[in-house]
Chain A
Amino acid sequence: MTALLDVAGLTRRFHLAHGLIERPRILTALDDVSFTLAHGRSLGVVGGSGSGKTTLARLVMALDKPDAGTVRLDGEDLNALAPAELRRRRRKFQMVFQDPRGSLDPRMRVERIVAEPLDVAEPGLGSARRERVAAALEAVGLDRSALSLYPHQFSGGQRQRIAIARALVTAPALVVADEPVSALDVSVQAQVLNLMMDLQRERGLAYLFISHDLAVVEHIADDVIVMHRGRIVEQGPAEALFRNPGHPYTLSLVEAISPFDRMPVDHTVSPSPALRPRPSAREMLPSSGGCSYAGSCPFASGHCHRETPSLIATGEDRRVACLKPLA
């Protein structure tokens, strides 16, 4: 069976015009990224700020064009489709953005906001349009009376529900969610995550789920890719990857989790501070050449500054880009 989403060799470069004197710099925001995602599964994407997560999301959504590589949905190369074809295909893949305040147009009523993807993918629905929108709102726990209201009349959590309703209205097979709960309070995060999990079970959705919150990703995602400077440095099943990181960068992310969040809810045991690796209070500097993580890596040796590690299999379903993988 072909994968729902098949990303191969995806690369995106930006030209940074930086002042008049400095020579133009090229920033490789995404560097040879490949993975697949099956129907009904969740793939988590984690990584620091600027590691390329949103760039990846935009390319998968065909909102941006790669400099190299392909994005295939159900076997079809999205960038090879004619614009009208692509518009029709959009029915199958939708996106939820990070900030519920920023992503909903404040001047539009909820009905128009939620109907937007329908109008693109299935124009001319007539009276069925309103029913489809109302059904999407009901699926996310909002009343159809919301149809005629504006975004500012809703709380942050409700606005994120509206954003999810908009993504669902075309009955997609894939939803790309870029930090969908990061702007929400923990209490409301839990509501939205529950909703996303329910919808996945009911509709067999696949998620490409981007988040910097490892606890959330571990809870939601079947598999995870870890990004660092535009490259995948580790990939594997969520549980194995977080419990037993293979890449030193993944390890640093796991160690950055507060002991509080590593503990079960009764918080009865807390690791002794002496046993806990202390994060550095200083900024880390990028290295030049070799492994992109060598400048910050506690395991780096001279070799690491010369040779660029490629992503290789270290076990079943696991791949790590490190010359001396930990697992």
Chain B
Amino acid sequence: MSETASPLIAVDRLAVSFGDPARPLAAVRQVSFTLAPGGTLGIVGESGSGKSMTARALIGLLPESARVSGTVAFDGRDLLANRERDWEAVRGRQIGMVFQEPMTALNPAHRIGDQIAEGLIHHHLLDRRAARAEALRLIERVGIARGRERIDAYPHELSGGQRQRVMIAMALACKPSLLIADEPTSALDVTIQAQIVELLSELRAEYGLALIVISHDLGVIADLTERTLILYGGRVMEEGGTSALFRAPAHPYTRGLLAARPGRHKAKGEHLDAIPGNVPAIADFPPGCPFFGRCTDGTERCRLQVPPPVAVGDSLARCWFPQGQASGGQA
């Protein structure tokens, strides 16, 4: 077993861009993080922040038009140097992924049992018969009731929650050491969400999995992860231990996300602390801090210069003016 000192995955200055190389549209910029074997990491941010592009870069599933740079060291190898053939050995086998839209990620024409068994057969881990038995075990393990009756169902015959369970079973079939779950609960209703969160946390312990959970739902991240990256405009805004980061957010963007939820801090019917404005299109981010323009603390310096990471408590915040200037709280 490896020491926590040697990470399972080390992402260094990952960048993903699109369009004309002379005027690139940067979807992910200089994202770095490490994850120990069995560790958990949350990636949070509004839609368009670059969460899915980051995740897809880790398993070589970026759109064809994307350009990627940086390094992704996994088990000592740089995955970004992979050719498509090399990815085959990693994807599904060493890194499993649960996608944002289960309906598009599942093949509508194939029975779910066959889809779960496929990876096991493809990677020569089990023969057809044993793979089917394992698929049934997985279907039952991920909590689908009456698995024997469901193993030959097609995806459209299942509910949203059941499809997500099938996705998790597929991702786990080859016992990967890392599972990436992109918005695993966003399409589900609350009670089903809670069941899926509980399932992921059980499976993580059982399989000794490292887990990267991407969500815009802060509750899901708080429930599942030890560390969190806050992403905005393709950049890491803040990172740190999840509970410390949520308890004492240093970055104005993190504070904005936390304060926007209704809750006991607001009287009923009182105005919520919305973050003003919208996420701009990639081309419209300022050259400096991406949050400039929506941030109530922004200055000219913020607009022009990318802030360096600053340690605040146990977190690292990329902000010229972290903490202090309380913006949330009063309406």
Contacts and interface: CB of A to CB of B under 8 A. Distances in A.
Interface stretch (A5-13, A88-96, A107-115, A150-158): A150-158
Given A48-B191, A157-B278, A260-B222, A193 B256 contact: no
Contact of B195 (A155, A263, A279): A279
B261 A215 contact: yes
17 contacts: A48-B189, A157-B278, A186-B46, A187-B256, A188-B275, A191-B275, A191-B276, A219-B266, A253-B191, A256-B190, A258-B222, A263-B263, A265-B259, A279-B194, A281-B143, A283-B143, A283-B145
Contacts of A263: 263-264
Interface string B133-171: 000000000011110000000000001111001000000
B143 A197 contact: no
Contacts of B165: 283
Interface string A130-160: 0000000000000000000000000111100
A216 B266 CA distance: 11
Contacts of B257: 186-187
Interface string A255-283: 11111111111111010000000111111
A279 B144 CA distance: 15
B100 interface: no
Contact of B220 (A49, A253, A258): A258
B94 to A, nearest CB: 25
A190 interface: yes
A189 to B, nearest CB: 7
Contacts of B194: 255-256, 258, 279
A165 interface: no
A285 interface: yes
Contacts of B219: 257-258, 260-261
B198 A219 contact: no
Nearest to A279: B194
B47 interface: yes
A13 B140 CA distance: 32
B68 interface: no
Interface of A: 48-50, 155-158, 185-191, 193-194, 197, 212-216, 218-220, 238-239, 252-253, 255-268, 270, 278-285
Interface in B184-225: 188-199, 202, 216, 218-220, 222-223
B268 interface: yes
B328 interface: yes
B273 interface: yes
B90 interface: no
Nearest to B222: A260
A185 B191 contact: no
Across the A-B interface, give the 8 residue pairs with the lowest CB-CB distance, nearest first. A258-B219, A190-B274, A219-B262, A260-B222, A187-B275, A190-B272, A265-B265, A282-B143
Contacts of B256: 187
B278 A256 contact: no
Contacts of A194: 271-272, 274
A265 B143 contact: no
A188 B191 contact: no
Nearest to A278: B198
B265 A260 contact: no
Contacts of B266: 219
Contacts of A215: 261-263
B195 A282 contact: yes
A90 to B, nearest CB: 28
A170 B12 CA distance: 55
Nearest to B44: A186
Given A194-B271, A219-B266, A267 B258 contact: yes
B268 A219 contact: yes
A285 B145 contact: yes
Nearest to B47: A185
B243 interface: yes
B262 A216 contact: yes
B274 A191 contact: yes
Given A190-B274, A283-B143, 14 more contacts: A50-B159, A185-B46, A187-B260, A188-B278, A191-B274, A197-B271, A218-B262, A239-B268, A256-B193, A257-B190, A260-B219, A261-B261, A264-B263, A285-B145
B216 to A, nearest CB: 6
B272 A267 contact: no
B195 A283 contact: yes
A277 to B, nearest CB: 10
A281 B262 contact: no
B226 to A, nearest CB: 13
Contacts of B146: 285
Of A48, A156, A256, most buried by chain B (CB within 10 Å of CB) is A256
Nearest to A187: B275
Contacts of B264: 262-264
B183 to A, nearest CB: 12
A189 B162 CA distance: 27
B279 interface: yes
A281 B198 contact: yes
B324 interface: no
Contacts of B275: 187-188, 190-191
A109 to B, nearest CB: 21
B83 interface: no
B262 A193 contact: yes
Contacts of A220: 262, 269
Nearest to B278: A155
A9 B31 CA distance: 57
A289 B267 CA distance: 42
Contact of B159 (A49, A157, A262, A267): A49
Contacts of B279: 155, 185
Interface in B56-107: none
Contacts of B162: 283
